[in-house]
Structure 1
Amino acid sequence: MSKFFDIKFWKFILVGIINTIVGTAIMFGLYNLAGFSYWVSSAANYILASILSYFLNKYFTFQHRGGSLKSAIRFAINIAICYLLAYGIAKPLTMSLLAETTEKVQDNVAMFVGMVLFTLLNYVGQRFFAFKE
């Protein structure tokens, strides 16, 4: 467990806070203000925030000195898998738990649950796959 909760973990949390602010504004803004769908809103969040995340985590969090192309490919694979898993689980789970609420409430809660699941999966993927030492 000590390998998880070292300085890299806390740097990842700091980068995550920055990404969460940027990504949440994008996702909920597109969904609630611009009228985009659940999938488009959440995907736009992760595409745009992931670009920021890649650079911050590569150079600040993990101080990865390996090849940029290799780490960028691994990072993109990790993001795609984490996104599909997190949001693929969050949507049906939330729909079943909140079946009596409106679709807008279900989608907003599902996007929040997806963010939490994504963050947990993403840390493990970046630490031990994308930027592994």
Structure 2
Amino acid sequence: MKTQLFDRTVIKFLAVGVVNTLVGCGTMFLLYNLAHCSYWASSAANYVVGGIVSFFLNKYFTFQNKTWEWSQVWKFAVNVTVCYLLGYGLAKPLVLHLLAGQAVNVQENVAMLVGVCLYTGLNYLGQRFFAFKVDI
């Protein structure tokens, strides 16, 4: 059976992403703007809180993966860690360069938004084809 890159799992992943975004990004932007936590602490909180929500919703709802193996937890953790480091690590220097001259809080808020977008695309691919891949 050939696996298609885009199928109904994309729609489910995006729906879960709405919930995940409300929870994770809400945490991130509140910590950054109200609690005055750093860029990295705020985005890391998004990663941790969002990662927990994402693991359970995507495992059982999006990818219909009913098995329980600790290897999935480790694969998921590796996936979101790599996606986090790539997404946010690439976003910040790119946005700082593009928005040079803007206020730091503007640069970092935009960088976090760009990081979310990069993280989401990479995370879908990693969950679909690595963490929750079902071999047929």
TM-score (norm 1): 0.96
Say yes or no: does 1:60 pair with 2:61: yes
1:70 Cα shift? Answer: 1.0
The CA distance in 2 between the partners of 1:74 and 1:11, in whole Å, is 20
1:66 Cα shift? Answer: 3.3
Structure 1: unaligned runs, 5 residues or longer = none
What residue is the counterpart of 2:33 in the other structure? 32
Equivalent runs, 1:9-88 vs 2, <5 Å:
9-88=10-89
TM-score (norm 2): 0.94
Equivalent runs, 1:88-107 vs 2, <5 Å:
88-107=89-108
The CA distance in 2 between the partners of 1:77 and 1:107, in whole Å, is 25
Total equivalences in the alignment: 132
What residue is the counterpart of 1:108 in the other structure? 109
The CA distance in 2 between the partners of 1:64 and 1:71, in whole Å, is 10
1:131 Cα shift? Answer: 0.3
Structure 2: unaligned runs, 5 residues or longer = none
1:36 Cα shift? Answer: 0.1
1:119 Cα shift? Answer: 0.3
Percent of pairs identical after alignment? Answer: 56
Superposition RMSD on alpha carbons, in Å? 1.0
Question: Greater shift after overlay, 60-69 or 84-93?
Answer: 60-69
1:96 Cα shift? Answer: 0.4
1:20 Cα shift? Answer: 0.6
